[in-house]
Chain A
């Protein structure tokens, strides 16, 4: 089974997230409180790549969050403030 279907290339996560509808809140619903309690492996594992390393620092941006809860499960309770978005904000699934 050689050869790819012509023209098919993996979509980058930034572009993939464009397909999903969000109503982004002004305030983040998740925040890193103490980096030591949040594993760097989330850079690879977070399904929306909300986690990234900038130098030695682990950063989180909430805008693309899909509210799956993975980072809450893998982090220490004191590492993250984790809440669902309020007032119906956040991801708005349509066909899932």
Chain B
């Protein structure tokens, strides 16, 4: 199917909205838009970061998911207690594939689940005593932990436990940071507020902590940090090597494969490199104001954007870095050319629809375009207007934008637009595969990765080819339903 015109896309949105009751329709139509690159301000065409409607299937998470799952969880040498009933921690355990180096259970704790396992009596009598005991037990069992964070689940806020007091007491007793995070799931409309709360907790409890500067730190003029890279499938590592080859020194990774010491050192950096704007712009802004560290957004998906980003980063430093930056770009060029030569003919002209969170709905567009593919629809689970401001320029005219799309809308859009590939989360994966549409799970790279950097681009291209050109997509119609002439050669062959 050829690309839709603006009128056709508008008609499509109207058609999909038709089934809703009047009130729901009015609300949802604000979240669906046809992209128009001439619009400067996204709020003129799309509403975002609003409460999801009851009764429609949303794909969003909660504040706890944003804080424990995204921001705090990957910090490997701290123990993150899921404070509350057991389920929240257990069902989100180790699902995000934040890779890290270390011995789990000895000096790193990334894939483990620590929970206070609230029972009825804890709800009735309060769980503060239990939390204090739990922290004491952790200290006994895992003495190499560098700190503890207490990630509140819903009941903590509801019953009004004073986790701050418990944390302060424990921090003084063990001389380690114990960070209470008020990220109860009911706060906010999506995980986005959880990111904000987690950022604020880092600001208040990590940066402001007494005695954090105990370890020696020798600054260099080329200190940078990677902020908002969660090392999914090794993303941060494939980004880091590029920066290091350029002659920069990466002093911290936030928070994939990150440590508490790295976080504490971040205010000493010369430049903060921000990959996931949505989840960590808060702390970057804070560091800019308080410590005078500039920050820039960068994009390490696909060679075009990588080259652009590397040059932008190099522009902050002296000529030796700029020269090395060109060397790095030249070094990887043959590899990139080989990847494009191999996969572009197989993928060119294919159309993609995305629906993810954070930075990907706009960042991966460049990757697809480098392979000759086109993104015809994109949307954020929990983006804000500033995300859409940045997206409008990346997307083609009269493509679809959908904010917090519901299960129904997304299915209908896919049925009508008929993309060749859908990239979204695990909850959508099997729906679309059963509809016969190739699908990539773009939250954790479908158990592949890394996708960042030049090395990641090679893997990205292979994965897209593997999915799109998989022979299984021709086998969806059983032989007895195929028209006779098609079934004929098969019978002969048998």
A and B co-occur in one complex: no
Q: Which residues of A contact B (CB under 8 A)?
A: none
